[in-house]
Structure 1
């Protein structure tokens, strides 16, 4: 059973930091940017539950697969064909993504402000959103690697 509607934006715990996310569509994307006061030039990460799910939305080649097999699931976001993707290392969250489909995810904070440490803090900043708790993360944002250049961007 699907828990999310196409326009829902929510807060979720991950293996790294709390995330704010929603289904991959323009309405949700715009809402996330507005809530976070995020610069439109900064991309949102799309989280996936499996390579098969990723292949439904992105063209994957041999080099991409080498990075995927080396770093996923885990705390590494990969830039593939100018889009950012991650497969979290949290079994419950992966089941959620499998059920709900890939979704946008960004750190659950106002842009350029401190990372939010827990759900209670997030509820003060984003009181009207849905919340999903899949356990405590590391508190450290994901590493970002560009698969075209091999460069670590963060």
Structure 2
């Protein structure tokens, strides 16, 4: 099913996600694929759709820093990064205090979280609060900013939220704070310089 990125389309996508469905949706960096992060079967299906190695944990998109605090701990430095770059293309790897979520995502401690800077995704997250949000592509292939290309290349999802072409500088930059130092796991839309000068 393909829906527009409007009130009706977002409501439909929310209903499908709530029932365990898989959604493809636009973000500020690429088209993403996601589901309810507490639904084990849905998570398993995303790994299958993407042919993703099950040892690679899936990131979670959240509506706001305040929502993120319901599932992860912020130290002083990670809080500073969140305030500076959220919503935006920065993923923070943080310790989680949500046992149920850690179990469904198959992680022992840390979860990658981000607040995307895209009106459509934020409207969806306003309803869902949390969404698994990983790039909508087969693992190893390029991520997509073009809805036509993404719609054609991806299979076995339940709803495609079409937000039009995405103007993007690349995938999100991923960082982790260890011993009060910043470790850049993946340099993306935010450069190393932008991160380290904060």
Question: What TM-score do the two structures reach when normalised by structure 2?
Answer: 0.71
Deviation at 1:139, TM superposition (A): 5.7
Task: Describe the SS at the equivalent of 2:151.
Answer: helix
| Aligned residues of 1:17 and 1:139 also touching (Cα < 8 A) | no
Asked which structure has the greater RCO (Cα within 8 Å, sep 6+), the reply is: 1
Question: What TM-score do the two structures reach when normalised by structure 1?
Answer: 0.90
Instruction: Give the alignment partner of residue 53 of structure 2, picking from 39, 43, 53.
Output: 39
Could you say which residue in structure 1 is the equivalent of 2:134? 106
RMSD after superposition: 1.8
Could you say which residue in structure 2 is the equivalent of 1:22? 35
Distance 1:32 1:96, change over 3 A: same
Structure possessing the higher radius of gyration over alpha carbons:
2
Aligned pair 1:5/2:11, yes or no?
A: no
Deviation per CA, 1:57-112: give whole Å up to 9, x if none: 22333332112112211001111122100101123321210112201011111001
Could you say which residue in structure 2 is the equivalent of 1:56? 70
Could you say which residue in structure 2 is the equivalent of 1:132? 161
Could you say which residue in structure 2 is the equivalent of 1:84? 112
Could you say which residue in structure 1 is the equivalent of 2:83? 69
Aligned pair 1:147/2:160, yes or no?
A: no
Distance 1:151 1:59 in 2: 17
Residue ranges of structure 2 left out of the alignment (5+ in a row): 1-10, 96-109, 187-198
Could you say which residue in structure 1 is the equivalent of 2:105? none
Distance 1:59 1:117, change over 3 A: closer
- The structure richer in helix per residue is 2
Task: Describe the SS at the equivalent of 2:35.
Answer: strand
Task: Describe the SS at the equivalent of 1:73.
Answer: coil
